[in-house]
Structure 1
Amino acid sequence: MDWFGKHGSGMYFTLSIRVKLIVLQGMCKNLVSKGNLEKPLIIFNRTKQRADDLNAKLGTGKSVVASELGDAVQKADIVFTCLGDDTAITDAIATALKQDVKDKLFVDCSTVHPSTTGTIANSIESQGAEFVSCPVFGAPAMAESGQLVCVLAGPSSATDKVKPYCKGVMGRANIDFSDQPQQKASLLKIIGNTFILNMIESVSEGHALAEKSGLGNENLHQFIENLFPGVYTAYSGRMMSGDYYKREEPLFGVDLARKDAKHAMDLAQASGTRMKDIEVADGHLTDVQKHMGSKGDIAGIYGAVRQEAGLKFENKD
């Protein structure tokens, strides 16, 4: 769990999953370089070494490391959080609210169920603090280059305080739900992430068919490069290179991906509809978990699709 804050008119962030840690590093880098911060960021991590490493990476005088979560919250006026799952963010907020948080602003970037966002909002606002839901879209490289897309929801009096740190600093664009319930931002984030899952499923199935039919993966990749540059091409390349199973740590962990899929399916059921593509993708993610355990990556869907096609999970010897 990582937090960063700026004392004075401050900021603060929390994370626990490696993919989010990578994203956080990019966000912090852009905050200290482009955010016009008056004082150093305050960084806290349950694993102190990670906080120390990030502190060193940001450069002398750009940040400080807090030894306790409560200490970080006390010194920050704006508190950013971004944890891996609903339990983690709920627990972190409960710990933060043990401090006097009156008039502080909390900004949560976690990908969680809208009901969790609603619960957090009620808890924070009942303590006299403000709350903005601000999940972000974008891979680690986009975070590093300040190209994230930030979704903001909550009272405009609060979102207006957050926007100066989003577009032009941490992100390239804002999707603005000011004066709408904070849950709306989480709802868009969950639905938006299903597009990523569906994309990976489609590219995986296409590559499996290209290999089995004799078209060849290189030929399919050329098609993807020319018609779908960007994220489609990136995932196609990861599949072809074997990166989807070779990584020591996942770029986007299978546990996180399944959490998002389950939230999407739950929301669909509650709304009287279904997301059949996500049901298929979640089945493949289950196979990735069985094959790779905690090292499984969302792109491992390709390995699961390969197995269904009678191929080995791994595409390289």
Structure 2
Amino acid sequence: MSESLLSVGRDNVPYSRPETPNSHPAPRVGFVGLGSMGYLMAQNLANHRASLSNGNPPLLIWNRTKQKSENLRDALGNDKIRIAQDPAQVALECDVIITNLADDSVVKYIYEEFTEALRRVPPSQHRIFVETSTVSPEVHSLGGELDALISSIPHSHLITCPVFGPPAAAAKSQLLIIMSGDYRSKKEVAYLLVPAIGRKVVDLGGNIEKGLTPPYSLNVIDPSVAPTFKLVGNSMILGSLEVLAEAYTLAEKSGIGADNVHSLVQEILPAPSIVAYSDKIAHDKFDGSVGFAIDGGIKDASHIRRLTAEVNSPMPAIDVAHQHLLTARAIHQSKKQAGKVKFETLDWSGIVAGTRVAAGLDGLDSKK
């Protein structure tokens, strides 16, 4: 067993190890969705599996834009990556299928493709679907639909498995992985994902949609946990980003330099994500191709707001943040049409454009 696997302890993975890999063939793993996060997750997973000595087959990948799949295969080689013709091939040929997709509609479409294929050719052995996207947790929501779809297939289980961390954390396999669903499946998948993709697994029990419900037991079985938990975490990050943007704007209007504010953030709020976003705002580093695109931020903010309305738990900071994200996107699109920006996609730290404009400043250029 490799040294990297031996280093993964109970502090990182809350389950005992599965049966020794020597008694079973190496699992066939597929990955669907190569966006800014998915590409890095698939890349790290393929590299890690190839570094082990238990004869892991290449990672089978599929992406709607085939060029991304070809780019990953060309970067890593045919011994690490194999490209599927369609999502159905991934579902039919793999024991573990990981998905990281853009939004609810894409997730639903892909899982319908999976189940249609498996109804034609039912699996004869255990099959695990690992859904890592950020999806809506509403009542009668997508999580419940996916669970019903997968549960209708023999020997098949769904794990909802959203991840915390920006692309920079994904690149370093430092994501925090949240799991809910079938215990045996989580146990099998956890050691596949840590340390290959993430640094730690948090187990939220059998509920695949909602999250912890009173009395806050981790063993509730009621369609929902991890997606709601992910949105709670995202609300903290987005709320912090909104306050950071407002503070930078106040400092700018008060004549305090951005570098001074950034130094203060490093001293009193030294969380890596806060410091990273502070640096982006301080130096107008708003290129979304190397961060988290603002469209994804607006999607997450919309999910959070729907959740707050559903459970009657107001979050005014998120309401304001959502408005500022929309304003920032509109400003960026206007500047892009006029040929006045250098990057195609705006990072969600560009939320500061909303607060800057409200204060009579230029949205995306703090030097003006």
TM-score by length of 2: 0.78
Structure 1: 5+ residue stretches without partners: 1-6
Distance 1:249 1:170, change over 3 A: closer
Q: Which residue of 1 aligns with 2:13?
A: none
Name which of structure 1's ranges 154-163 and 274-283 shifts more when overlaid on structure 2. Answer: 154-163
- Tell me the amino acid that sits aligned with residue 106 of structure 1: F
Matched position secondary structure for 2:75 = helix
Report if the CA contact (8 A) 1:105-1:158 is conserved.
Answer: yes
Q: Is 1:219 matched up with 2:223?
A: no
Q: How far apart are residue 16 of structure 1 and its match?
A: 5.7
Q: What amino acid does structure 2 have at the position aligned with 1:224?
A: V
For 2:145, the equivalent position in structure 1 comes to 119
SS of 2:226 mapped into structure 1? helix
3-state SS of paired residue (1:9): coil
2:171 is aligned, of 144, 168, 175, to 144
The CA deviation at 1:29 is 3.8
Give the match's secondary structure for 2:30. Answer: coil
**Equivalent residue for 1:56, pick from 68, 71, 74:** 74
Q: Provide the residue aligned with 1:110 in structure 2.
A: 133
Once residues 248 and 95 of structure 2 are traced to their aligned partners in structure 1, the CA distance between those partners, rounded to angstroms, is 49
Match of 2:269 among 219, 228, 240: 228
Equivalent of 1:46 in 61, 64, 85: 64
Checking the alignment, whether the CA contact within 8 Å between 1:19 and 1:251 is kept in structure 2 is: no
Structure 1 residue 88 and structure 2 residue 130: aligned? no
- Give the C-alpha shift of residue 161 in structure 1: 1.3
Range 186-195 or range 30-39, more displaced:
30-39
Q: 1:60-98 CA distances to partner (integer Å, 9 max, x unpaired)?
A: 511111222222221111111110110010001111112
Q: Cα gap change, 1:38/1:86 in structure 2, threshold over 3 Å: closer, same or farther? A: same
Shift of residue 218, structure 1, vs aligned partner: 1.2
Q: Secondary structure at the match of 1:142?
A: helix
- CA distance in 1 between partners of 2:31 and 2:53 (Å): 14
**1:175 alignment partner, SS class:** strand
- Residues 258 and 16 (structure 1 numbering): CA distance in 2 closer, same or farther, change over 3 Å? farther
The match for 1:264 among 290, 295, 304 is 304
Letter of the structure 1 residue corresponding to residue 96 of structure 2: I
Structure 1 equivalent of residue 321 of structure 2: 281
Displacement of 1:215 in angstroms is: 2.0
- Computing the radius of gyration from Cα coordinates, the structure with the larger value is 2
1:190 partnered with 2:231 = yes
Is the 2:235–2:301 contact (alpha carbons within 8 Å) kept by the matching residues of 1?
Answer: yes
Aligned Cα root-mean-square deviation (Å): 2.2
- Structure with the largest fraction of helix: 1
| SS of aligned partner of 1:38 | coil
1:292 equivalent in structure 2: 332
Q: Bigger CA drift: 27-36 or 88-97?
A: 27-36
Give the deviation of 1:53 after TM superposition: 0.8
CA deviation vs aligned residue, 1:4-33 (integer Å, no higher than 9, x gap): xxx962222222643543454345444544
Could you tell which deviates more after superposition, 290-299 or 126-135? Answer: 290-299
Relative distance call for 1:16 and 1:43 in structure 2 (3 A) is: closer
Matched residue type, 2:277: Y
**Contact in 1 for aligned 2:58/2:78 (Cα 8 Å):** no
Call closer, same or farther: CA 1:28–1:135 in 2, change over 3 Å: farther
Q: Give identity over the alignment, percent.
A: 29
How far apart are the structure 1 equivalents of 2:50 and 2:269?
Answer: 34
> Mean alpha-carbon deviation: is it higher for 223-232 or for 11-20?
11-20
For the residue of structure 1 that corresponds to 2:289, the secondary structure is coil
Q: Which moved more, 1:34-43 or 1:300-309?
A: 34-43
Counterpart position of 2:218: none
User: Which one-letter code corresponds to 2:145 in the other structure?
Assistant: T
Q: Which amino acid aligns with 2:305?
A: M
Give the equivalent residue in structure 1 for 2:21: none
Using structure 1 for the length normalisation, give the TM-score: 0.90
SS of 1:191's equivalent in the other structure is helix
Q: Does 1:312 align with 2:352?
A: no
Matched with 2:214 is none
Task: Kindly indicate whether the alpha-carbon contact (under 8 Å) linking 2:242 and 2:351 is maintained by their aligned counterparts in 1.
Answer: yes
Asked if 1:241 is matched to 2:283, the reply is: yes
Aligned to 2:250: 209
Task: State the AA in 2 paired with 1:77.
Answer: D
8 Å contact kept, 2:166–2:291: no
